[in-house]
Amino acid sequence: MKKVIIDVDTGIDDAMALSYAVHSPDLEICGVTTTFGNITVEEATRNTLQVLELIGAGEIPVYPGASKPLVRELKEKAKLFHGENGLGNVELPLPSAAPQVMRAAEFMIATIKEHPQKITLITVGSMTNLALAIMAAPEIVSLVERVVVMGGAVTVPGNRTPVAEANICADPEAASYVFQSGIPITLVGLDVTMQTLLTREHLQQWRESDTKISHFFADMCEVYMDAYAKVGNVLGCGLHDPLAVGVVIDPSFVTAYPMHVQVDTSGSASDARTIGDRREQPASAPNVDVCLEVDHERFVEHFLKYVM
């Protein structure tokens, strides 16, 4: 079993990623850390506790993290996609468990040091917690097994701006800092996640399986799919955060290419863009493995098998 920490801004697809990770026989979740992005960090922490309790995993500890970007102001919540509460406005009972007192970055550092070369960190929200952890303990760069980041759009358009993806947009300086830190990164961006779609037919199957969890996921995803249909005429919704979990379970779901990637922090129209050097003779050594192809049928089938 691979030991993982999952850093979330729970969010509809974050909730599905958590459930997929919890039910996968290949992963051991050491803890979940929270950040801002789709919603505030307080809401992300509450939603994470609620979702874990719903799926019977309330014993997994949840560590609250950063409430704002490293240097910028907090951006608007992603209400159109994730609803006012982050879970498509579907209400769950208030959590009975409380979040941990230890902060997210501290937990990341302590766990990575306790299990050298054994922890895979999966970030599916803003990259602020990881940036803070590396600033406080740079040695974790060589102690972590790998960081799998859901973020970026290297060869395709963005979703938050014409060129930038939402998780990188949430805190471009944090993403830039992490990318330059030397930590081993696999980037699961829109290049591949927009090829892994959940469809209305899948939601219908969930409704027919008629459990509390299947109805919750189907209701939540209706909102997500409506937003996709509205902004991009997409028939379904991207399984962004679940694919990052999938890549840890089975790296052969994707094909990744080593590349030098930098994050634009200019504040201009190209702000938060992930610029990959795809030239034959790049100017700098690769710092990121960028996923550009995905076996979407095999991944979606595996996701559907283990998400609940």
Binding site for ligand BDR (CB under 6 A): 11, 13-14, 38, 78, 81, 124, 150, 159, 165-167, 240-241
Stretch that binds Ca ion, among 58-66, 123-131, 204-212, 225-233 (CB under 5 A): 123-131
Our CB check for Ca ion shows the closer of 36 and 107 to be 36
> Residues near 225 by Cβ (< 8 Å), separated by ≥ 6?
198, 200, 203, 236, 237
Q: Are 122 and 101 in contact (CB under 8 A)?
A: no
Q: Are 262 and 161 in contact (CB under 8 A)?
A: no
CA triplet 287, 72, 160: central angle to 5 degrees?
A: 70
> Residue 236 interacts with Ca ion (CB under 5 A)?
no
Contact characters 176-205, Ca ion, x per CB under 5 A = ------------------------------
> Strands 27-34, 62-63: parallel, antiparallel or unpaired by DSSP?
parallel
In Å, what is the CA distance from 176 to each residue of 65, 95, 153?
A: 19, 35, 14
Smallest separation, CB 123 to ligand BDR (Å): 9
Query: Quick count: other Cβ atoms within 10 Å of Cβ 110?
Result: 16
- Of 124, 175, 198, 225, the one binding Ca ion by CB under 5 A: 124
- Of 4, 6, 12, 14, the one binding Ca ion by CB under 5 A: 14
Q: Are 79 and 49 in contact (CB under 8 A)?
A: no
**Residue 228 interacting partner from ligand BDR, Ca ion, none (CB closer than 5 to 8 Å by kind):** none
Question: Secondary structure of 176-243 in the HEC alphabet?
Answer: HHHHCCCCCEEEECHHHHCCCEECHHHHHHHHHHCCHHHHHHHHHHHHHHHHHHHHHCCCCEECHHHH
**Residue 164 interacting partner from Ca ion, ligand BDR, none (CB closer than 5 to 8 Å by kind):** none
The answer to whether residue 260 is catalytic is no
Our CB check for Ca ion shows the closer of 243 and 260 to be 243
Place of tokens 């070369």: 117
> Residue 125 interacts with Ca ion (CB under 5 A)?
yes
Our CB check for ligand BDR shows the closer of 19 and 109 to be 19
Stretch that binds Ca ion, among 64-72, 208-216, 240-248, 288-296 (CB under 5 A): 240-248
- Residue type at 252 in one-letter notation: S
* Chain residue whose CB lies nearest ligand BDR: 166
**Residue 220 interacting partner from Ca ion, ligand BDR, none (CB closer than 5 to 8 Å by kind):** none
> Residue 16 interacts with Ca ion (CB under 5 A)?
no
Query: Quick count: other Cβ atoms within 10 Å of Cβ 250?
Result: 14
Measured distance CA(268)–CA(36) in Å, rounded: 23
The answer to whether residue 171 is catalytic is no
Token pair in block for residue 175: 């993403």
**Catalytic residue (one of 7, 9, 14, 289):** 9
- Residue type at 215 in one-letter notation: H
Our CB check for ligand BDR shows the closer of 109 and 149 to be 149
Q: Are 19 and 43 in contact (CB under 8 A)?
A: no
> Residue 11 interacts with Ca ion (CB under 5 A)?
yes
**Catalytic residue (one of 7, 13, 14, 240):** 240
Q: Are 7 and 107 in contact (CB under 8 A)?
A: no
Q: Are 43 and 50 in contact (CB under 8 A)?
A: no
Smallest separation, CB 12 to Ca ion (Å): 9
Our CB check for ligand BDR shows the closer of 109 and 129 to be 129
Active site residues: 9, 240
Residues found near Ca ion in the complex (CB under 5 A):
9, 11, 14, 124-125, 241
